[in-house]
Amino acid sequence: MRLVKTVIDFVMDILETVTFVGSLFIVVYLFIMQPNQVKGRSMEPTFVDKDYIFTSKITYQFRQLERGDVIVFKSPKNPDVEFIKRIIGLPGDKVRVDGGVVYVNGMALEETYTSTNETPLWENGFIHDGVQVTIPQGQIFVMGDNRPMSSDSRDFGPVDINSIIGQVFYRYYPLQKTGVIDNTLQLQLHTRYLLHQIT
């Protein structure tokens, strides 16, 4: 009988541990962060197909959205599909693409993270060459880094902020590319602002 009790206690300890770990994982997944797998080529060269990333669901409870943030959000055309793109324009921003160059509030972006030097537009898309659009309140303008291969706000227009799942902050696979995801656009804009203030 003592052996049976020992076995039962051991099994119960394991079940309690599994239940605790499982509950902790569910809480983290639902409220704090979730793993995602990049599918497709729309974010090359920053992310490639089958990269694994962590998406923070709480970042924007502590700070505002920033231009250059990489986010995961629900597709405007199919909420069951999740997209990964980069924030280019915030609510109230004036965005235009002129001759393949992206301008935000009249400033040409130096986009070192894109796959090409030019941003193409789609014939029947939301935005047209040289035509400035103002991003409505409660919405953002997003683009993929692989501009020729990305369906984004150039096609379907601004994205509702409420559709954002979270900010991509870490890549954990492949192992040789693991690390925190830097917001190079925000750093560039901040540097240019400081230089402008000095001069």
The answer to whether 39 is a known catalytic residue is: no
> Could you give the CA distance from residue 56 to residue 61 in angstroms, rounded to a whole number?
10
Cβ neighbours of residue 117 closer than 8 Å, sequence gap 6 or more? 100
Asked if 42 and 146 touch (Cβ cutoff 8 Å), the reply is yes
Asked if 169 and 180 touch (Cβ cutoff 8 Å), the reply is yes
The answer to whether 85 is a known catalytic residue is: yes
Buried b (16+ CB within 10 A) or exposed e, 58-90: ebbeeeebbbbbbbbbbebeeeeebbbbbbbbb
Cβ neighbours of residue 94 closer than 8 Å, sequence gap 6 or more? 104, 105, 106, 132, 133, 134, 135
Catalytic residue among 23, 75, 77, 85: 85
Q: What are the catalytic residues?
A: 42, 85
